[in-house]
Amino acid sequence: TPEQNTVCKRCSDGFFSNETSSKAPCRKHTNCSAFGLLLIQKGNVTHDNICAGNSESTQKCGIDITLCEEAFFRFAVPTKLTPNWLSVLVDNLPGTKINAESVERIKRQHSSQEQTFQLLKLWKHQNKDQDTVKKIIQDIDLCENSVQRHIGHVNLTLEQLRSLMESLPGKKVGTEDIERTMKACKSSEQILKLLSLWRIKNGDQDTLKGMMHGLKHMKTYHLPKTVTQSLRKTIRFLHSFTMYRLYQKLFLEMIGNQVQSVKISCL
């Protein structure tokens, strides 16, 4: 006002603002690890985190769990969960064993249907440098190639990517994350990276279910027909019998006859 100066408030922890406008909102510090980058300088109330990438993670666009790995990990949930299922899985997975404390934390924090996915996600990260695990993950390459054929050719503008993310349920991937993804990732990886960010933002919700929900609402957002067709083909493939056979090959090799009835849904 003419009599009083503007009163400013500091941004809370984890947020920053480098603008002097009284209306500019505080922005969240960039989550470097979500983009497969290293934090080299922590941000403060006036500056964002500064990230830098190593060549391997940058090449992979920093996607922590790919769509194929997620589908594979979720296929591993038996139709009838026995009380000791998680213990059986922990005992039989190759590589470094997941400690009891981590298993208990997963049991406390996640539903019974979600626990297997969380366990396998942790197992992958904990054993990513082990040859046994590398081979298992490499065997999913065939699936990754198929997904790229369905979705990798789609080249979207910033506005179209925003519309795509807006069509998904739950917490939204913001414009800043979309802009960073467009800078960090090749056009063939952008949708996959944004879907990965959506899953992280929504507490590891099932990405395929999110995509299926999005498809029902995409007409509202006027996205090109090629986009909806590509996403529909991707979902069908990841729910297909091909994935079931891949599951059998990899999982039965890993933990043998301990796995019995397996969930499979075909669209």
Domain ranges (residues) in the chain: 15-59, 62-78+131-267
State residue 22's pLDDT score: 66
State residue 71's pLDDT score: 86
Which residue in 166, 179, 157, 152 sits closest to 224, CA to CA? 157
pLDDT along the chain (267 residues), means of 10: 71 77 76 65 74 47 85 76 81 87 92 87 86 75 87 91 95 94 91 93 91 89 90 91 76 60 40
Is the pTM for the entire model greater than 0.75?
Answer: no
State residue 19's pLDDT score: 66
State residue 266's pLDDT score: 36
